[in-house]
Chains A and B, each alone.
Chain A
Amino acid sequence: MAYHSFLLEPISCHAWNKDRTQIALCPNNHEVHIYRKDGAKWSKVHELKEHNGQVTGIDWAPESNRLVTCGTDRNAYVWTLKGNVWKPTLVILRINRAARCVKWSPKENKFAVGSGSRLISICYFEQENDWWVCKHIKKPIRSTVLSLDWHPNNVLLAAGSCDFKCRIFSAYIKEVEERPSPTPWGSKMPFGELMFESSSSCGWVHSICFSASGARVAWVSHDSTLCLADANKKMAVATLCTETLPLLAVTFITENSLVAAGHDCYPMLFTYEESQGTLTFGGKLDVPKQSSQRGLTARERFQNLDKKASSDTTNATLDTLHKNSISQISVLAGGKANCSQFCTTGMDGGMSIWDVKVRRPRSALVPPRLG
């Protein structure tokens, strides 16, 4: 099934397991529900109840098969599957505001949590004491951290914040890893080092994403802009002012193309032209309109006039697959370098899977098969 309506309420966040047979999501409450694909249906197989506040972030580590969740109760839990039961381990984040987003590092030996405490908690497992400890990255963040993404080198971390900035920090933890080799973002990477900071756009940064190589980082802001910083061009930032409502989620699907979605309820394609340093809108993805071009009867016209005070014959309902804002995008197949399939979840409680078809040199998005 290409579009599945899980809930009548928003899906707060979701994460997929490694082979994409199970999805963990928060149904707008304090729990995490895990659904498993059974042919064409989805069956709920687990309910994870531990948080005392809404779960705002879920991430599923593909190799170690551990879940990490964070919530407005200022806590994070690492969940391990023991037999057929998910067992939580509390992680003390030492924050006094809600946690907003969480991401496992690529090597799964650390995870980062962004919060309303205006800092990022980098958590790693301390073998001697058999518990998770965390270190804080604070300066110079001045507001809630809404989104995080790790660089493939397991050290650099991009953070989008409500203070309108995208920043890249070093989250190097000497206890769990070797010193990293230089990257286009810099060579000295002590913990907490600020490697890059964008100049102010004018909107909260809702979502941020490194490209597969890590040389580029893209983010979407509440002022309806999409930006991309290219480390190979001395961190030059390309900005695109979109004609749409603000975007809430963005991901790279190749090194030069991105898919983003948000309050307009449909995903759209963007391409980055490296030589010119420009971002361009590549087209929107929409459900093909059903053939509803028949005229209105006199009765329907009168009803329209009565209900909406309008004799307009155009349909006021959404033609898009998602009937409310899309809040999250995840890559399902092909990775960020060559994505062939991605997933969107939204405030309509629905989850949709989209196929990316590459035709000759340019990518085109193919609408999902319905039914």
Chain B
Amino acid sequence: PSSERAAAHQAWARCQRCWSSRSPSSWQEQAQGTMLKVLTAFKSSEIEQAVNSLDRNGVDLLMKYIYKGFEKPTENSSAILLQWHEKALAAGGLGSIVRVLTARKTV
């Protein structure tokens, strides 16, 4: 529903800002938690459209959060993250994964 989508967009914007500034690790953890909630909120069929709405920097940022999510798996998180990973990879290519590995600023 549209209210969920709006909430997801807001959370996404907040996560983007959190990454751009030098945020303390507590904020980063909060952003990661929020990010995971946002990604889980989407239905599988909606993932591709969501990814395609992002620009290059957005796809790179999404990929960073996906790998951060892999680092601390929860009950169901890996399955959902893998679905997001497949679509993000199709949009950003291997280069987006390389930039996760070489990034100096972590999410």
Which A residues form the contact surface with B (CB < 8 A)? 200, 202-203, 222-225, 241-246
- Whether A245 pairs with B94 at a CB distance below 8 angstroms is yes
- Whether A241 pairs with B102 at a CB distance below 8 angstroms is no
- Pairs A–B under 8 Å by Cβ, sample size 11: A200-B104, A202-B103, A203-B102, A222-B98, A224-B95, A224-B99, A241-B56, A241-B60, A242-B93, A244-B94, A245-B98
- Whether B93 pairs with A223 at a CB distance below 8 angstroms is no
Interface contact tally, CB-CB below 8 A? 38
A242–B102 Cα gap in the complex (Å)? 14
What is the chain A residue whose CB lies nearest that of B101? A223
Q: A58 to nearest B CB, angstroms?
A: 29
Which among A200, A225, A242, A245 has the highest number of chain B CB atoms within 10 Å? A242
A246-B104 CB under 8 A given contacts A241-B56, A241-B60: no
Residues of A within 8 A of B99 (CB): 202, 223-225, 241
- Secondary structure call for the B interface: helix
Which of A202, A224, A225, A241 touches B104 (beta carbons < 8 Å)? A202
- Secondary structure call for the A interface: loop
Which among B56, B57, B93, B95 has the highest number of chain A CB atoms within 10 Å? B95
Known: A224-B95, A224-B98, A241-B95. 18 other contacts (CB 8 A): A202-B99, A202-B103, A202-B104, A203-B102, A223-B98, A223-B102, A224-B94, A224-B99, A225-B99, A241-B56, A241-B57, A243-B94, A243-B95, A243-B96, A244-B93, A244-B95, A245-B94, A245-B95
What is the chain B residue whose CB lies nearest that of A201? B102
Within 8 A of A (CB), among B74-107: 92-96, 98-99, 102-104
A222–B94 Cα gap in the complex (Å)? 12
Residues of A within 8 A of B96 (CB): 241, 243
Q: A203 to nearest B CB, angstroms?
A: 5
- Whether A202 pairs with B93 at a CB distance below 8 angstroms is no
Closest CB pairs A-B (n = 8): A243-B93, A224-B95, A223-B102, A224-B98, A202-B102, A243-B95, A242-B95, A203-B102
